[in-house]
Structure 1
């Protein structure tokens, strides 16, 4: 009886100038099946050096978790230099900066996904799973592909799947806003009314997004204790 060999792990380079944060992100990586931390870099130049060494050794990294705010180079500059050297591996940007101009610049350099600090392990692991599905889909197309296959592959990078899979009236960007809001406060539970007030949307709209996230097991839903009459539900980020 022959045993199938386990699929090779995605080798990840973690880049962050805060040692404790870098170790935490590396631990997150190692918790996701099929991913492993290959190295940690505390600045942009070290990251580029590690990428070059791995490339020369024929053991390149598969993915970079790249902090945007580094002491020597901006994360976008690191990404640009990576592309200039011919490194085509995917990059997930990690940052506390919410400037839309920075996000647009990151996308322009080929950064495929974005994580805004602080985030939960559930949000983090979902980005890695998106990456896995994207790579698997691209590999399955062989040497050539079709428009439909490409559209499907790139849809895998969007958290929660493609927009076409969302119920009518839901928008992926707004879904991400709701998901992120809960992920940054994992200890807090929100009712639809509370979330609507914080995000500037109607209670009905907030409830629709929360219910969708609850159905996909991204958030936990339970009745709020102490409410009279019709039960009110509260939602919090799911704990992995």
Structure 2
């Protein structure tokens, strides 16, 4: 069970956030403070909570000042800012102070719930003795960088995209001659790209016989 402290001078908002917190099965509010002094006194005489929901505008101290005070005294204290402050300077200071999240009022329930769920995931990962890069990427909400696709010699991504575009535009399919004309490449180059797409099962090729001459190779989507 996660102990949560709310620091919010507006009684109605504090109660609303308490209601939001306690809708979640693993969280409960152990204290609500209206001032910086109240939360400092509570922390000095009680077990450190797992999480503090901190407003920026409180009567006796500037929220950023209180944030840094708490960070200096309690190095591992988890803090989520919930405030109407939207200025970049305040947000930057909060991020530099290592807040878990920054929610702008009024906060809807879905966003609030997502924030606490992310905190819970973060805390569970920290129970491990070690973490690999994948876990750290999850904690920092990073997606792995997609590797650039490698193509065979003679095939480049820019021309291939042009070829694919022409294929999408042609419901009946294309020949190397018609593709070369549309893309502005030689017939042999067009044939090379078409045959590559056949090899990776994007296209299929058919021989069409005319009245005279050799049959023509026709390409359409597989």
Runs of 4+ in 1 over 2 A off after TM superposition: 144-155, 162-165
What does residue 77 of structure 2 align with?
Answer: 89
What does residue 29 of structure 2 align with?
Answer: 37
8 A contact 2:82–2:104 mirrored in 1: yes
Alignment partner of 1:12 out of 4, 25, 28: 4
What does residue 122 of structure 2 align with?
Answer: 134
What does residue 207 of structure 2 align with?
Answer: none
Q: CA deviation at 1:33?
A: 1.6
SS of the equivalent of 1:136 reads helix
Aligned residues: 145
8 A contact 2:56–2:63 mirrored in 1: yes
Q: CA deviation at 1:47?
A: 1.0
Structure 1, gaps ≥5 residues long? 1-8, 156-161, 166-240
Mapped to 1, the partners of 2:20 and 2:121 lie a distance apart of 18
Mapped to 2, the partners of 1:43 and 1:25 lie a distance apart of 16
8 A contact 1:13–1:38 mirrored in 2: yes
Alignment partner of 1:80 out of 48, 65, 68: 68
Residue 151 of structure 2 is aligned to residue 151 of structure 1: no
What does residue 98 of structure 1 align with?
Answer: 86
8 A contact 1:48–1:78 mirrored in 2: no
The higher radius of gyration belongs to 2
8 A contact 1:76–1:109 mirrored in 2: no
Q: CA deviation at 1:14?
A: 0.4
RMSD over aligned CA atoms reads 1.7
What does residue 59 of structure 2 align with?
Answer: 71
Q: CA deviation at 1:100?
A: 1.1
Q: Deviations over 1:183-228 (max 9, x none)?
A: xxxxxxxxxxxxxxxxxxxxxxxxxxxxxxxxxxxxxxxxxxxxxx
What does residue 25 of structure 1 align with?
Answer: 17
**TM-score normalised by the chain length of structure 2:** 0.61
Q: CA deviation at 1:87?
A: 4.1
Q: CA deviation at 1:164?
A: 4.9
Q: CA deviation at 1:108?
A: 1.0
8 A contact 1:134–1:154 mirrored in 2: no
